Structure 1
Amino acid sequence: MNYDFRKATTSDIPKIWKIIQQAIARRKNDGSQQWQDGYPNEDVIRTDITKGIGYVLTDNETITSYAAILFNDEPAYEQLKGTWLTNGDFAVVHRVAISDNYTGKGLAQKIFLFTEDLVIKKNIFSIKVDTNFDNIPMLKILEKLGYTYCGEVNFRGSDRKAFEKKLPVF
């Protein structure tokens, strides 16, 4: 497999939206409440791409996965019920979704590892992320990758677990 991590383009939206819909269905089938309220939707993805924060992981030219990566821009994180590990610049990973054709291949982990490289190149050494209490696959990935539970944040009226990973400074 020849994976590449790149910024998404507007021409990628139909493929990304299909992947998001598959991920929404998987969350529902897993018994999770995450993404069962009309979010994310196609407008959210289009806005991500317009803002330059939408990324795709490709296998050769096939889009396998999607994620949004923001920098120093998550107002909900200012209201953490808990304590972040750091107070400086940070990246946030949101809306991680994997195509049904690529589940079970460790691609969510690859997205986080590519994100680490991207963040370090920008001289940022913290990644923050949140997920639903019942998103067991993501909770396991965050644990495996060394993220630290920091507390809870509230998104759209529900509490979510918040994590941070401090990256090594070279």
Structure 2
Amino acid sequence: MQSQENFILRKATPADQAVIWEIVQQAILRRKNDGSSQWQDGYPNPDTIREDIENGFGYIFEIDGETAAYSALIFNNEPAYENIDGKWLSDNDFLVIHRVAVSDGFLGKGIASKLFLEIENFAKQQQVFSIKLDTNFDNLAMLKILEKLNYTYCGEVYFRGSARKAFEKLLR
């Protein structure tokens, strides 16, 4: 990849659904191959992606016009975050990041980190200065990214019956 890459974060449209699902399936297989239990129970699925797009939550990260990654971005709405075994850094408006998936064709190029930095810029443009997210205890790739980008471990939240590590980053 050239250093002159052009990347944008944009809202996904119904026309993007097939490529998003392909990327998410690649991520599901990677989680399995890494020995992670995350995303191994039928979630996320094509309906999840369709609902993300319909609700305006789905976002594509494009590099030089090619879809490199996908994520759901949701402002101020994650019921599971209301009950944390721990403490969030803030009680202000926040942006939730869910369903981060990078295309196999872009692995090993720091795309997830670039995606997170672009999401942070997006949040600030919306005057939101807190990002919250969660991940499985065994998603080592995501845990490494969160550490690298200075996300703070805040405790545990519970999704569909299992504990997940919760993180927050306050933006400046």
Q: Which one of the candidate residues 34, 41, 59 is aligned to 1:37?
A: 41
Say whether 1:106 aligns with 2:100. no
Q: Does 1:133 align with 2:117?
A: no
**Is 1:10 aligned to 2:10, yes or no?**
no
**What CA distance in whole angstroms lies between the structure 2 residues aligned with 1:21 and 1:50?**
20
User: Structure 1: which 5+ runs fail to align?
Assistant: none
The Cα of 1:62 is off from its aligned counterpart by: 1.2
Q: Mean alpha-carbon deviation: is it higher for 102-111 or for 67-76?
A: 102-111
Does 1:163 pair with 2:160?
Answer: no
Match of 1:123 among 127, 136, 146: 127
Distance in 2 separating the partners of 1:105 and 1:9: 25
Query: How many pairs were matched up?
Result: 168
The runs of 5 or more residues in structure 2 that have no matched partner are none
CA shift for structure 1 position 61: 1.9
Question: For residues 51 and 115 of structure 1, what CA distance do their matches in structure 2 show?
Answer: 18
Percent identity (aligned): 60
CA deviation after TM superposition for structure 1 residue 110, in Å: 1.2
Q: What amino acid is aligned across from residue 25 of structure 1 in structure 2?
A: L
Q: What is the RMSD computed on CA atoms of the aligned residues?
A: 0.6
Distance in structure 2 (CA, Å) of the matches to 1:146 and 1:5: 21
Alpha-carbon distance in 2 for matches of 1:41, 1:157: 18
Shift of 1:11: 0.3
Q: Which consecutive segments of 4 or more residues in structure 1 shift more than 6 A?
A: none
Please give the secondary structure, in 2, of the residue aligned with 1:153.
strand
Q: Which amino acid aligns with 1:14?
A: A
Larger deviation: 145-154 or 51-60? 51-60
Please give the alpha-carbon distance, in whole angstroms, between the structure 1 residues aligned to 2:8 and 2:121: 12
Picking from 88, 101, 105, the partner of 1:84 is: 88
Partner residue of 2:75? 71
TM-score of the superposed pair, with normalisation by structure 2:
0.96
Q: Distance in 1 between matches of 2:49 and 2:118?
A: 20
Question: Whole-Å Cα distance in 1 between the matches of residues 76 and 8 of structure 2?
Answer: 24
Question: TM-score scaled to structure 1, two decimals?
Answer: 0.97
